[in-house]
Chain A
């Protein structure tokens, strides 16, 4: 059910309405296929601004093995109000005795993580892309989407960039390069009713492929967000206007591409370590040692070994987080599935991550040589009730799909994948060993 304009934008002004109309009616506008607003009313906006002040004024700090003061009250809250944690009786012994949680826990029953004291009348649902596992529903609120903006701003400040926003201009454009995805033009209340666009560089989304250039040059977004694959595609367009910064999420932005992007666009390209469950966690800083600065004032980060024991500072292990800013998904020792190390600056109270091994981007090659984003593969595979799968492309271009036994006929999977890769694509299908550990989902031998 579409929302009304006043539901999408409770605070909309004439200037905002006019910008939104211009964004939609521009002669080079894409074929937007979705309408969506930030749904921020005055109270929500104030809360988001309060959060912004906290982000700017109270960067995350704690000493090694001395959790911050807010942590114990948060644990108490989780156990008191959240059915999943209450059932586990988490609050006995020390913090490190609390059982860890993982993606599968809320994949099964996400409602068990919603605290009893949280209303659900404005609940919204995001289905994760599932690039590291099976897609799951994330329960959220409109304000949570807006609260990402202060974290983006904090990330940009590490490179001296201010995201200003303001009426009549576009502040953020999210750049995608996918076969199919939602695209929209929206307004951002926290950015002074500036525009917030989501665009797909796939030429089929535009009346004329050159409209991609004309539209971006016309509206000159302050910053562009995207992933390494979409930014790589963007380098092929002869854009005249340069953004203040690029922010890459979703997959690790490898330093080689980062430099290419910075040279091409003449601005910083930031690698943001972020996930649906948590929002932005950290941003990679310039420098050889690849440090990531933590962003959230109330997200406690631990590094755990394979047995769930805390690692020493500087020792590599699984990144595990507690806290977060989504009130419908309080996280208690959530194992992210990503690996890295946590160490401290000379002040011994400012932690930073390094050697973060997120989700590497994988570009496959189709039967006629076309590039295929791994997200598009995920979108094909998510239609089937497959617990897990892995796709590998050999140097001869053939694909090997390994799936958990789920009853989906191989023929059906072959048809679906060939619709994406081309009818000539060579594909073999085999079963995943049930005892095999975590799968690396997408791999390729092609350069």
Chain B
């Protein structure tokens, strides 16, 4: 985040204008319509990079995976498509140098987030819009115009769906543990304890 990027609002507004084509079902096996690998390849070229066949591999899903896998994979690919739209903003195209970092984000940087947030939320929900924009900027080593590094990091942490999910999971786990202990207390209250030798 060492470098200053475009205004945050410019990109979040751009994201609200995401064309419907990017929200169509990604092609997996014989299902879906959008060839994600092709969209990524086009973006790489527009960002001033080159492509080769191997770069398409992460976006060519195996056909007929298990139902739950197919859902997760489809959501991730939809998130990739929406991120492609963000990165297709004229500011990035004009810079003509972000292709390698953008590819890293698309191929490896969105899986965890896509596991906990439905792709459409990245357009319809304001916080998720901001999260995706900030994720894209951070991956390219950029921070929103007018923000310090600390501010940008802090805001991204606050918005992070993965972080939030971890907090929710930790809280859920803690509550399950507390519940188990309360149950054990109830059982213990109804049972005899162990012989003591003194009274305190």
Contacts and interface: CB of A to CB of B under 8 A. Distances in A.
Interface of A: 1-3, 8, 34-39, 83, 109-112, 114, 116, 120-121, 123-126, 128-129, 137, 139-142, 145-146, 148-149, 152, 172, 174, 176, 184, 186, 188, 196, 198, 225-227, 247, 249-250, 272, 274-276, 279-280
Interface string B181-200: 11011011111111111111
Nearest to B180: A120
A145 B200 contact: no
Nearest to A123: B184
A274 B197 CA distance: 12
A274 B200 CA distance: 6
A2 B192 contact: yes
A141 to B, nearest CB: 8
Contact of B197 (A149, A250, A276): A149
Contacts of A3: 191-192
B168 interface: no
A176 B181 contact: no
29 contacts: A1-B192, A2-B192, A36-B192, A36-B194, A36-B195, A37-B195, A38-B195, A111-B178, A111-B181, A120-B184, A121-B184, A123-B181, A123-B184, A125-B185, A125-B193, A126-B196, A129-B199, A137-B185, A139-B181, A139-B188, A140-B193, A145-B193, A145-B195, A148-B196, A172-B197, A186-B195, A249-B200, A272-B198, A274-B198
Contacts of B192: 1-3, 8, 34-36
B13 interface: no
A1 B199 contact: no
Interface of B: 174, 177-178, 180-182, 184-185, 187-200
Contact of B198 (A123, A129, A186, A249): A249
A180 B50 CA distance: 88
A140 B196 CA distance: 12
Does more than half of chain A's interface fall in helix, strand or loop, or is it mixed? mixed
Given A120-B184, A121-B184, A184 B178 contact: no
B196 A174 contact: yes
Contacts of A172: 197
Q: Which of A8, A114, A226, A274 has the most C-beta atoms of chain B within 10 angstroms of its own C-beta?
A: A114
B36 to A, nearest CB: 42
A174 B199 contact: yes
Contacts of A116: 177
A64 B197 CA distance: 33
Contacts of B181: 111, 114, 120, 123, 139
Contacts of A111: 177-178, 181-182, 185
Nearest to B195: A186
B90 to A, nearest CB: 45
A250 B200 contact: yes
A276 B200 contact: yes
Closest 7 CB pairs of A and B: A186-B195, A111-B181, A142-B194, A124-B193, A125-B188, A120-B184, A276-B200
Nearest to B192: A36
A225 B197 contact: yes
A124 B199 contact: no
B200 A176 contact: no
A376 B196 CA distance: 19
B199 A176 contact: yes
Given A37-B195, A123-B188, A124-B188, 12 more contacts: A39-B194, A111-B182, A139-B188, A142-B193, A146-B194, A148-B196, A174-B196, A176-B199, A198-B195, A225-B197, A226-B199, A227-B199
Contacts of B194: 36-39, 124, 141-142, 145-146
A150 to B, nearest CB: 11
Nearest to B179: A111
Given A120-B180, A120-B184, A139-B181, A1 B190 contact: yes
A196 B195 CA distance: 8
Contact of B174 (A34, A83, A198, A274): A83
B197 A196 contact: yes
Contacts of B177: 83, 111, 116
Q: Which of B178, B187, B198 has the most C-beta atoms of chain A within 10 angstroms of its own C-beta?
A: B198
B175 to A, nearest CB: 10
B197 A145 contact: yes
B13 to A, nearest CB: 39
A186 B196 CA distance: 9
Contact of A123 (B185, B190, B197): B185
B61 to A, nearest CB: 38
Contacts of A140: 193
B198 A126 contact: no
A114 B185 CA distance: 12
A83 B175 CA distance: 10
Contacts of B193: 36, 124-126, 140, 142, 145
A247 B191 CA distance: 28
A286 B190 CA distance: 43
A129 B200 CA distance: 8
A305 B132 CA distance: 52
B44 to A, nearest CB: 44
B195 A148 contact: no
B198 to A, nearest CB: 4
Contact of B185 (A34, A139, A176, A226): A139
